[in-house]
């Protein structure tokens, strides 16, 4: 196995986190749609499954999240009301599990290479999971738009920090 494949896989994940955490729109067109971020994740999973066998189990969930993202994007562009509470809850749970397990597996790969960056990835994984779990539980009860925006900004910061550490991990593997 070539470490070039590992580097490509880690790079794909880092770019995926950028796509799912940065939202740039021109009118109704999202220039960095989340579903493309999940396509990056799927690409990364192909490479990383050579180094961590449990990553293979994430592929069906990644495909589900790509499809969901395309449906959401389509509904947003064509202004189709699209809020089904049970399905949204299921997608949220799938999303939480996908990222929790993905970052766990990436940290394991880093640890297998003797790199301490795995600990930082685990910390960010935990912070992301706690924040999004709290947001999922509390969002229906929150009327304070300012507080929701603060939580959203913290989520973006965590996502970009994950991306940053993934790029650092990639650099450490060169």
- In tens, the pLDDT along 45-64 reads 999 999 999 999 999 999 99
CA end-to-end distance (rounded Å), the chain: 14
Question: What are the distances in angstroms from CA 92 to CA 33, 48, 65, 131?
Answer: 17, 24, 10, 12
Going by the DSSP 8-state scheme, the letter that residue 30 receives in this structure is E
User: Would the pTM count as exceeding 0.75?
Assistant: yes
Angle between helices 85-112 and 3-21 (to 10 degrees): 150
Q: What would the mean pLDDT of 118-134 be, rounded to a whole number?
A: 94
What is the Cα–Cα distance from 35 to 38, expressed in whole angstroms? 5
Per-residue model confidence (pLDDT) at position 1: 43
- In tens, the pLDDT along 128-147 reads 999 988 888 877 777 777 88
What tokens does 127 get? 């912070």
């Amino acid at each position: 196995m070539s470490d070039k494949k590992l580097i490509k896989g880690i790079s794909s994940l880092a770019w995926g986190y950028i796509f799912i955490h940065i939202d740039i729109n021109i009118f109704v067109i999202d220039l960095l749609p989340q579903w493309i971020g999940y396509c990056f994740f799927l690409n990364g999973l192909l490479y990383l499954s050579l180094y961590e066998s449990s990553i293979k189990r994430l592929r069906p969930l990644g495909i589900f999240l790509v499809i969901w993202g395309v449906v959401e994007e389509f509904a947003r562009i064509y202004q189709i009301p699209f809020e089904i509470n049970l399905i949204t809850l299921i997608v949220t749970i799938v999303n939480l599990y996908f990222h929790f397990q993905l970052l766990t597996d990436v940290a394991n790969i880093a640890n297998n290479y003797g790199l301490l960056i795995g600990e930082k990835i685990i910390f960010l994984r935990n912070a992301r999971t706690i924040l999004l779990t709290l947001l999922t539980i509390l969002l229906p009860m929150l009327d304070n738009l300012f507080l929701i925006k603060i939580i959203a900004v913290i989520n973006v910061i965590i996502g970009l920090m994950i991306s940053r550490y993934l790029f650092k991990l990639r650099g450490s593997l060169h």
